Amino acid sequence: MKKLKLLIHIIFFSKKFFKKPKKVQILLFDNIHQEIFENFFKNRSFDGFDIRFNEINLIILIKAIFHKGFRNILYNYSVQYIKAVDPEIVINFLDTRIDFYKLKKNFKKIKFISIQFAYRANKYPDIFQTLSQKKIGNLKCDYLFCFSKYVGKEYSKFIDTNIISLGSFRNNNYFPKFKKQSYKLKRRICFISQFRRQNSDRGLEQINKIDREEFYLPEKISLPIIQKLSVENNYEFGIIGCSKNNDNLEIDFFKGILKNNNFNFLKLKNDDDSYNNCYESEILVFIDSTLGYESISAGKKAISINSRKPYFDVNTGFGWPYLNDLKGDYWTNEHTLSEIKRIFSYIIKVSKNEWDTEVKKFRENILNFDENNSQLLKILKPK
């Protein structure tokens, strides 16, 4: 059935080209986030290729079918595409793409680099659960840049690679640029949205295989409490949106939870808007959003109400795999009034020096901060 769907997609829906791919030094495996990274590689020739078959190079497709037939067509298409481009480096920003780690064995002279794109947890279906269950062997890449050395150890259980603790590529890139701008820190407490539109590819009736109603239970209970505490402490209350095309649905979703319009909804228009909105806010609140973790790494004050129901029967605390504590000074696994008040009280009272100490520990163990991605640039530097 999957092969039939793929064939129908290729024939009727994909955009087709009939020309040789251009030669570049750095080739991006999966071009879905290409626009985010183009400026980073401006000193090297750089291009991406579409592994989702929305765009197909017919020359490469014919070669792949001629050599291996229709079996494992995506893998064989990728091999032939890389051979045609002959780059120095193949780089991957979707670390959960297991097929990427199968390619290195075909190209001894080409560097394969993977970069962790989002926070990983053991309570939802994710790359570690997939690799553990399927027991896929012979996975390799030259370097894997991850959020921390501890999550790097998890990757090393399944992938033969050199681990480098980089932190978040986007956070490392955006925050130094933001600091150079003239801005005024706003007396604002913002909640980081994880809204997913119903009946879309990203958010159907279930999210991470959890019923939608149950998935958003932390928001429904916590947000009215956070809004009330913010107002009582003379803070503006805002919500940092995450939908480019569905912001009206997202606004209505939060209006339905809060039963009022007394919040500032910060729209996502460009890829860096969510980061800038975080950096400008005095305090941030999140459930288990990657952006929340990134914000702490950037030095922002934040609290985590890490009470989302797990899919797997595990008691996962904040900061996995380094930490697995269910409660701490600025995080909790309960969305009760008393627990939310406890961590809220801490974050508005903690001194700058005390928080800087927390951030230092956080960077060392949970999500590193490497300004301007210096470690990655070092590896990418031409010899």
Q: Which of the residue ranges 129-138, 152-161, 226-235 would you say has the lowest mean pLDDT? A: 129-138
Position 337 pLDDT exceeds 80: yes
Q: 169 to each of 51, 116, 361, 377, how far by Cα in Å?
A: 22, 8, 19, 11
pLDDT of residue 39: 77
CB count, 10 Å around CB of 347?
Answer: 18
Q: Do domains 2-170+373-380 and 172-367 have the same CATH topology?
A: yes
Contact 287, 306 (CB under 8 A): yes
Q: How confident is the model at residue 202 (pLDDT cuts 50, 70, 90)?
A: very low
Question: Going by C-beta distance under 8 Å and a sequence separation of 6 or more, which residues neighbour residue 303?
Answer: 283, 284, 285, 286, 330, 331, 343, 344, 346, 347
Q: Is the pTM of this model over 0.95?
A: no
Tell me the three state secondary structure of residue 21.
Answer: coil
Can you read off the two tokens belonging to residue 228?
A: 């009330």
The percent of residues in the chain predicted with pLDDT above 70, rounded, is 92
Q: Comparing C-alpha atoms, which of 27, 47, 50, 17 is closest to residue 107?
A: 27
Contacts made by residues 184-187, CB under 8 angstroms, sequence distance 24+? 184/280, 185/280, 185/281, 185/282, 186/236, 186/280, 186/281, 186/282, 187/234, 187/235, 187/236, 187/282
- Token pair, residue 91, equals 């780089």
Give the Cα separation of 331 and 324 in Å (integer).
11
Q: Tally Cβ neighbours within 10 Å of residue 362.
A: 23
Question: What pLDDT is attached to residue 67?
Answer: 85
State the average pLDDT over residues 196-208. Answer: 60
Phi, then psi, of 322 in degrees rounded to 5: -65, -55
Q: Rounded CA gap, 117 and 123, in Å? A: 18
Q: Which pLDDT band holds residue 89 (cuts at 50, 70, 90)?
A: very high
**Which option is the CATH number for 2-170+373-380: 2.40.128, 3.40.50, 1.10.3210, 1.10.10?**
3.40.50
Q: Taking the domains of the chain in order of start, what are their residue ranges?
A: 2-170+373-380, 172-367
- Distance, in Å, from the CA atom of 169 to the CA atom of 163, rounded to the nearest integer, reads 15
User: Which 8-state DSSP code applies to residue 116?
Assistant: -
The per-residue pLDDT for range 130-157, each reduced to its tens digit, is 888 888 889 999 999 999 999 999 999 9
Radius of gyration of the chain (CA): 22
Place domain 172-367 in its CATH homologous superfamily. Answer: Glycogen Phosphorylase B; (3.40.50.2000)
